[in-house]
Amino acid sequence: MGLTVVLIIAVALAFDFFNGFHDAANSIATVVSTRVLSPRQAVAWAAFFNFAAFLIFGTAVAATIAKDVVDPAVFDNAVIFAGLVGAIAWDVITWYAGLPTSSSHALVGGMAGAAVAKAGWSSLIATGLQKIVVFIVLSPLIGLLLGFTIMVSVYWLFHRNEKVDRLNRGFRRMQLVSAAAFSLGHGANDAQKTMGIILALLIANKQVSVDSGVPLWVVLSAHTAIGLGTLFGGWRIVHTMGSKITKLTPASGMSAELAAASTLFFTAHAGIPVSTTHTITGAIVGVGTTQRLSAVRWGVAGRVVWAWVLTIPGAFIVSYFAFLALKGIG
Amino acid sequence: MRISRRALFFLSVALVFVLMIPPTPSEFRWLNLAMAGLALFWATLLVIEDLSNRRRDSDLPKGDAPSDMPSAG
């Protein structure tokens, strides 16, 4: 394996690390805001389940990224590096602008932009891209509907229970399970995107065949990177996703996390890369809607819609020019 | 008849799932239908809740509105 390949793998793992660093708030928001766990305990809990996801889920999302977005024959070191540069640059730009961007969509847009710069539009695989674009819209809405449904079911089941303190204690304990489930879904979805990039790189460098699965060392390193990112990033984040959108209680936090986790389990199983941030945002909006529409801060939800529209084209353009610059340099 | 904003919201969510059927890959279209059905179910229940609340309001003497009535949003 050449030095260039090792360096690109390091960049991909750094992307994964910062994904965990940035998204840790999604996993720990509710358990911290309801004081079930301290921030440090919560990030350790989330990081563990980010890592443990590799024991449960396959690598269908990784295969989609490596083989279903761009024709694998087009991938080379420059395309993959330019794609990563575009995705990282777009993440930084949108972070600065305060948009809740999706690293996953940025990665897809980045890879597509670099591939088009190298080999034209025919290098893109329409069916794979179509699946991803459709679920950009569907996954937050699925989270929303499941969040609303679980929250209403909880109300129906427990509204006659008068021992509120005991009930809240139960929900707080259940939040440990729901936060673990969400972290599993996050680990499965987001670590697999990095695995997909590394798999594409290994295929391009003929380290593995096109038909091969993801090597175990790639699986373990991607899950380790995202787990470490969560461990190092989460405790810094004070303003949590939960409190930004609507006020959460132990019951609503648990419902939102279970809804988002169910959506992520489905998409990970089906091999569809989705945004974990957008999915939990949809689920939190769903539980907020059980109160009334005005209980939801629609500004945050509206910014998600902007991120839908902007992320793939934005990362595409940055990567397109990053590839041309790389080609010009060398 | 005035439909509550929440019912309209869930109706529009159902509509989005239906409109997304053509671009959705065929193996996942069942999901669009299931989610559109679920959204329609909630929209219907919210309309029924709204109507029953309004009927309850009209049955009460003026100035005696119940304080625990859920908001229709």
Query: Span A118-138, mean pLDDT?
Result: 91
Query: Span A248-259, mean pLDDT?
Result: 87
What is the C-alpha separation between A293 and A277, in angstroms, rounded? 21
Tell me: pLDDT of A252 over 70: yes
More confident residue, A5 or A25: A5
pLDDT at A153: 93
pLDDT at B34: 97
DSSP, residue by residue, A128-188: HHHHHHHHHHHHHHHHHHHHHHHHHHHHHHHTT---HHHHHHHHHHHHHHHHHHHHHHHHH
Long-range contacts of A201-205 (CB under 8 A, 24+ apart): A201/A5, A201/A8, A201/A9, A201/A12, A201/A75, A201/A77, A201/A80, A202/A5, A203/A66, A203/A72, A203/A75, A204/A72, A204/A75, A204/A76, A204/A77, A204/A79, A204/A80, A205/A1, A205/A2, A205/A5, A205/A77
CB A279 within 8 A of CB A139: yes
Query: Span A262-267, mean pLDDT?
Result: 94
Cα nearest neighbour of B70 on chain A? A291
- When scoring B11, B15, B20, B41 by the number of chain A Cβ atoms within 10 A, the one with the most, hence best to mutate, is B20
Quote the minimal CA–CA distance from B48 to chain A in Å. Answer: 15
User: pLDDT of A9-24, one tens digit each?
Assistant: 999 999 888 878 777 6
Instruction: Indicate yes or no: CB of A130 within 8 angstroms of CB of B6.
Output: no
Taking the alpha carbons at both ends of chain B, their separation in whole angstroms is 16
Instruction: Indicate yes or no: CB of B6 within 8 angstroms of CB of A145.
Output: no
A169: its two tokens? 């204690």
What is the C-alpha separation between A168 and A291, in angstroms, rounded? 18
- Residue B11 lies inside a defined structural domain of this protein: yes
- Residue B20 lies inside a defined structural domain of this protein: yes
User: pLDDT of A227-249, one tens digit each?
Assistant: 888 888 655 544 444 455 566 78
What is the C-alpha separation between A123 and A130, in angstroms, rounded? 14
Quote the minimal CA–CA distance from A44 to chain B in Å. Answer: 34
pLDDT at B71: 43
pLDDT at B73: 38
- Residue B10 lies inside a defined structural domain of this protein: yes
- Residue B42 lies inside a defined structural domain of this protein: yes
Domain count across chain B: 1
Find chain A residues with C-beta within 8 A of B24's C-beta: 134, 138
A67: its two tokens? 């083989």
**What is the span of the domain harbouring residue B38?**
5-57
* Cα angle, residue A133 at apex, residues A256 and A197 outer, rounded to 5°: 90
Query: Span B12-37, mean pLDDT?
Result: 95
CB A47 within 8 A of CB A175: no
User: pLDDT of A177-230, one tens digit each?
Assistant: 998 999 899 888 888 889 999 999 999 888 888 888 889 999 999 989 988 888
Rg (CA), chain A: 20
- When scoring A138, A246, A298 by the number of chain B Cβ atoms within 10 A, the one with the most, hence best to mutate, is A138
pTM, 2 dp: 0.85
